[in-house]
Chains A and B, each alone.
Chain A
Amino acid sequence: MLLIRCPYCEAERPELEFTYAGEAHIARPAEPSKLTDEQWRDYLFIRSNPRGIHFERWRHQHGCARFFNAVRDTVTDKFVMTYKAGLPRPSLSELENARS
């Protein structure tokens, strides 16, 4: 069971309070009707599934109830950092800082 830092509660809490919510930074298109079938397919189904750094969403379901974003290494399972929903993807240097 992981410990996850909730960026809203500013505290590390046990994984049991959280739920996973899929890949992060996939915004719902503003006007879906203008998308081609292929574009919509990509939005719906195509995910990066990387080995290594993964940007993903979690929800502090049994806590502050907020959705937030996280960077996790899919090889070690470990979180690199977490940040509030709506914030941009962290830069490489920010990730490096978080790792050290």
Chain B
Amino acid sequence: MTSYRISGRGRIDRSKPVSFTFNGASYSGFQGDTLASALLANGVHLVGRSFKYHRPRGILSAGSEEPNALVGTHRGAGRFEPNTRATVLEIFDGLAASSQNHWPSLKWDIGAVNDALYMLFSAGFYYKTFMWPKSFWNKVYEPFIRSAAGLGVSPSAPDPDTYASRFAHFDVLVVGAGPAGLAAALEAGRSGAKVILCDEQAELGGSLLSETDASIDGRPGWEWLEAATNELAALGNVTVLLRTTAIGYYHQNLLGLCQRLTDHLANPPEGAPRERMWKVRARQVVLAQGAIEKPLVFAGNDRPGVMLAGAARSYLNRYGVKVGHRPVVVTSHDSAWLAAFDLAQAGAKVGAIVDTRPEIGRHLKERAAALGIEVLAGWTVTGTSGRLRVSSVRTNPVSRSGVVGRARVIACDALLMSGGWTPSLHLFSHTKGKLDWNEERQMFLPGEQTEACRCAGAGNGNFGLAAALEEGAKAGAAAAADAGFKTEARSYAVEGEIALAGVSHRELPTDRNTSRAKAFVDFQNDVTAKDIRLAVREGFKSIEHIKRYTTTGMATDQGKTSNINGLAIASDAVGKAAPSVGLTTFRPPYTPTSFGAFTGYNRGALFDVTRKTPIDAWAEENGAVFEPVSLWRRAWYFPRNGEDMRAAVARECNAVRESLGMFDASTLGKIEIVGPDAAEFLNRMYTNPWSKLAPGRCRYGVLLGEDGFIRDDGVIGRLTSDRFHVTTTTGGAARVLAMMEDYLQTEWPDLKVWLTSTTEQWAVIALNGPNARKLLEPLIEGIDLSEEAFPHMSVAEGRICGVPTRLFRMSFTGERGYEVNVPARYGRAVWEKIYEAGQQYGITPYGTETMHVLRAEKGYIIVGQDTDGTLTPDDAGLGWAIGKNKPDFVGKRSLSRPDMLKGNRKQLVGLLTADPNTVLEEGAQIVLDPNQSVPMRMVGHVTSSYWSATLGRSIALAVIEGGRARQGETVHIPMPGRMHAANIVGTVFYDPENKCLSALG
């Protein structure tokens, strides 16, 4: 055991030693230690370098508020995490941790030169420094900022862990399991309410874990804690979550709780998620977040070995670690005296208690005297020394009139400070609850609330064990009562507690030149008191601006230890009371939270829904390359024998044009529209007329938004007078149904018609090519496929291969085409039967790329590719699809708005490049004059562009201002490397007479 570990103190399990490494050196601690307590037990204070000045830094706190002691942790391959707070990291066998922000080593760091150049790094230094010359931006400034920015190093390997999430509903949620939270959970739990209690630490107790003097109901505090823990565990209606941080408080009592499940384990079980995000909805919430100790602001307050007094007390009482052999205490608050007393009792030689207050309570002074501790009341601290660890403190008397007297230097190996306590209002602040400034106590307290919540204990400004228990019990009882349960808050008898008082300070008074002093306010972002005053001198008056200019409170700790000190200094500099300078808004998450926890299950295969068609498995087995189309994955092309994409697509295109291709069109949206007003409904929704469409026939329909722009298109078949089978684009299926429901429910509720999504009811096999009919004839029952009975744009119900089918005759390729709809579970079997039967015709499965090429050769648009939400039917060359005699349809009125009638609207045209081998880039811009100066005037862009195997050259579709009237003109397309010329032509490149639609092989 090291000389810093005190026998007989602490809650660590001395029977379970744990070995770990820090910066490669091996250390040992005990189960129950944090990395911070274990390092301190080994006499290690120096754990990192600061962000901006690279100053040596130690451990400031003993909790999640820690701004300094950030380390990288390694848990094996891929499991590296930067910026873990050593003060909350539980050690386990094999933990490897390393310090950050230094090179080449923690003790000798080149970057520390910044410390000497601090004049460059004052408030707003980014804004001031990197302004000129302009040419320095790319080569000098940006690389410098990028390399200097960021805490620690981002992990570079994919995270091998899994994460979980869970929704949960409770009557009462209690955040924080200190005395107040425990009392609240006990009351609510006893009432029978469904209660959840969470705490970020590994065991219940909060501040009670660091408190050894007081007794509760006649029992030592820790005995009471054990009994309370047991009682909660025994209550079946209470859920206790340890290692669980309430990270955010959202509307209507929804809180995000991040539970760390396996980080503390040396060997996590296989398949166990690392963290789980609970999304808890509670009827009532009790916030018992406690309070965070404030540092004092004086020169050298950031040196390793300078820490919060309450933290030193925690290390001693909870972990059995003496943070120094010769500590000195500097404080403006009684609570730090307890740290001095406890350390003295544990054998430390306390050099002095420096208290800024001239008057100190007798009970404290007597106890200090009894322990032989020198008291310097009415003194200030003006500096510290020691390169990598504090070795002395410079302290001066301050007269009643404020004159700082002669300095005295006291040797020490730890300096314990306290500037009082700040109630943790973070979660309350997330709710936009009002914060009231208490001028006398110099703290914000919860004010008017917006949610059903109560604050209790130190988090409500009621410090001390007795107050916490009492208020916690009341809050728990009241919360249970408001959730509909009967209970009565019990009271607790607390003994041995010392009443604590204190005052608040800005920077401590000093006799030294303040313009050179580095008195830190924000340790993590290296912001000093001087920086804040400079910002105010430069004109910033609101804390929101001061914060952004100096970056105070903007680090990952969100200023947990610094905000109130920063505000006090800012309000003094501005000359206004703190509330009028303002407190910055706290935002979720309360503490840094892994992306994994937010992601939950949604990574890897579950990143998002991957919709697969009933035929997808066949495509996979047959070598398809896939592409995502909205949530679907679709077969893109089917390469054979090492073909590249272009070769495969050319082969697939030729097969369709020459004989027969088959295509999985199952992803097309499908809506069944049923009712006597079905045709009338379609009349109102689509641009086309539907009343006269005979059952058994189908028609291409165009759907506009009310703004007149194309939203969707598809073929609609009439099955009976009252039943239509509507198809939509793959990506538009849900949107179109929602739009239709909207009009039906809210504009035309009188129409007798109902809509049902049947997208997934049907597998759809598109057969295209001159041999399509020959293939189908022997497979189909009950449908006459002759030209007379079943011409282009027909639909009929029958059977194929013995199963029911809705057969469409339609074409999206320009060849004779059929779409075989079969109930989805038969999709694959029918596909295989057709594939088998089609061998005699060289049937060729093709993917979306070939489909795109074939339709482009015919000038058929794809909504969302050739249109972009600003094209009218006329712009897209679909003026023919508008029912001229219809009085109204969605979007009709907009088509006659003045802008829609302008002559130079962008219109869809075809493009043929001068060089037939050039395939233009989709999205490339189009200009009329290639020699104009940059920026050129762009008149349109390429929407679709392919190599056409059929034509033996490239083709493209484009939208161009007044394009249709420019047919025959040459336009120019700047692309990387060179300018391409192209001729504007019509949109139909292949079979303009539509002969192929009914050709037979």
Contact = CB atoms under 8 A, between A and B. Distances in A.
Contacts of A77: 251
Interface stretch (B229-237, B717-725, B888-896, B959-967): B888-896
A27 to B, nearest CB: 7
Contacts of B741: 59, 65, 67
Interface string A29-52: 001110101001100100000000
A33 B746 contact: no
A78 B888 CA distance: 38
Q: Which 3 pairs of residues, A with B, have the shortest CB-CB distance?
A: A32-B893, A28-B747, A67-B745
A40 B250 contact: no
Contact of B746 (A40, A57, A76): A57
A57 B887 CA distance: 28
Quick one: which of B250, B749, B888, B893 has the most chain A CB within 10 A? Answer: B893
B898 interface: yes
Contacts of B251: 1-3, 77-78
A59 B432 CA distance: 27
20 contacts: A2-B251, A2-B252, A3-B281, A14-B281, A27-B747, A32-B893, A33-B887, A33-B888, A37-B897, A40-B893, A40-B894, A57-B746, A59-B742, A65-B741, A67-B742, A76-B432, A85-B745, A85-B746, A85-B749, A86-B749
A1 B892 CA distance: 38
Interface in A52-100: 57, 59, 61, 65-67, 76-78, 85-86
Interface string B440-482: 0000000000100000000000000000000000000000000
A66 B744 CA distance: 11
A32 B745 contact: no
A21 interface: yes
A40 B251 CA distance: 37
Nearest to A77: B251
A3 B254 CA distance: 9
A3 B252 contact: yes
A41 B887 contact: no
A32 B892 contact: yes
A21 B747 CA distance: 14
A86 B745 CA distance: 9
A14 B614 CA distance: 32
Given A3-B281, A28-B747, A61-B738, 14 more contacts: A3-B251, A14-B281, A21-B742, A32-B893, A33-B887, A37-B897, A44-B706, A44-B707, A44-B894, A57-B746, A59-B742, A67-B745, A76-B432, A85-B745
A61 B738 CA distance: 8
Contacts of B742: 21, 59, 67
Contacts of A78: 251
Contacts of B747: 27-28
Interface string B813-828: 0000000000000000
Interface string A1-29: 11100000000001000010100000110
Contacts of A31: 887-888
Interface in B867-910: 887-888, 892-894, 897-898
A61 B739 CA distance: 12
Nearest to A75: B432
Contacts of A86: 746, 749
A1 B746 contact: no
A41 B742 CA distance: 20
A35 B281 CA distance: 49
A1 B894 contact: no
B897 A40 contact: yes
A46 B898 CA distance: 18
B745 A76 contact: no
Contacts of A1: 250-252, 254, 279
Contacts of B894: 40, 44
B574 to A, nearest CB: 28
B893 A76 contact: no
Quick one: which of A32, A37, A65, A85 has the most chain B CB within 10 A? Answer: A32
B709 to A, nearest CB: 11
B2 to A, nearest CB: 50
Contact of B898 (A2, A21, A32, A37): A37
B559 to A, nearest CB: 26
A33 B893 contact: yes
Contacts of B897: 37, 40-41
Interface in B687-709: 706-707
